[in-house]
Amino acid sequence: MAVEQFVVGLTSVFWSAIALAVIGVILLVPALFSRLWSGPKLGPIYAWTSENLRKKMFIITGIMFIGVGVMVLVSFGYATITVDSGYVNVHPPLTFGAGNINITSDEIASAYVGQIGAENLTLSKQQGQSTGNDRLGVFTLGDGQTAYVISNNPTALIIQLTNGQYVILGTPDIDALASSFSQNVHPLKP
């Protein structure tokens, strides 16, 4: 079987990053292309006169907002799930405390597709984020077990490990992830 990759994009982080970048552009564009900020006697941009100071502050602030927006998107924005023969690898965003998660078929006690929030799958956050359907981090399940969760879908692949911990993975195309996982890594319980 071929290697399959799935992307979990965290919508709330994406829109936050876009908002920061838009604010940066709103500050930057008028400062770069308008004479309204400094009046008719602009002078060279490198001169630190009071006429240029306001324009320079808008340019610097705009660049900072755009930079922070890009950093937020790269650091928090998405995770990749790779399914291959005998293992699944989760490459989370940079801010995920557990780092990469590599699970071989030998480490899996059971796996099934379930609804987050149903039965013992109620989540209580230990560290990470939970906004709407976006969940990223370490959570405690309703039965007290620890779960590493990367999901943007309320329906998720629930993997119980032999050590009692859980890994919960949710993507927009959960059916394809479940099918690939079942064929390549471990059969799913009904």
pLDDT at 40: 46
Is residue 102 domain-shared with residue 179, that is, in the same domain? yes
Is residue 110 domain-shared with residue 71, that is, in the same domain? no
Is residue 114 domain-shared with residue 158, that is, in the same domain? yes
Task: Give the domain range for residue 67.
Answer: 11-76
The answer to whether position 92 is within a domain reads: no
Is residue 69 domain-shared with residue 103, that is, in the same domain? no
The answer to whether position 68 is within a domain reads: yes
Is residue 163 domain-shared with residue 121, that is, in the same domain? yes
As for how many domains the chain has, the answer is: 2
pTM of the model: 0.72
Task: Let me know if 133 is exposed, middle or buried by CB neighbors in 10 A (0-12, 13-18, 19+).
Answer: middle
Is residue 34 domain-shared with residue 111, that is, in the same domain? no
pLDDT at 49: 59
DSSP character at residue 71: H
pLDDT at 158: 92
pLDDT at 30: 77
Q: Which amino acid is at 134?
A: D
pLDDT at 162: 94
The answer to whether position 33 is within a domain reads: yes
Is residue 123 domain-shared with residue 59, that is, in the same domain? no
pLDDT at 109: 94
Give residues with Cβ within 8 angstroms of 46, minimum separation 6. none
Residues 103, 126, 115, CA angle at the centre, nearest 5°?
Answer: 60
pLDDT at 113: 94
Rounded to a whole number of angstroms, the distance between the first and last alpha carbons of the chain is 23
Rounded to whole angstroms, the Cα distance separating 186 from 180 reads 9
Rounded to whole angstroms, the Cα distance separating 16 from 9 reads 13
The answer to whether position 34 is within a domain reads: yes
The answer to whether position 83 is within a domain reads: no
Q: Give me the residues of the chain with pLDDT under 70, please.
A: 1-2, 11-13, 34-52, 75-77, 94-98
Rounded to whole angstroms, the Cα distance separating 43 from 51 reads 8
Rounded to whole angstroms, the Cα distance separating 34 from 55 reads 9
Is residue 26 domain-shared with residue 69, that is, in the same domain? yes
pLDDT at 98: 60
Between 50-76 and 11-33, two packed helices, what is the crossing angle to 10 degrees? Answer: 160
The answer to whether position 89 is within a domain reads: no
Give yes or no for a contact between 133 and 149, defined as CB atoms under 8 angstroms apart. no
pLDDT at 54: 73
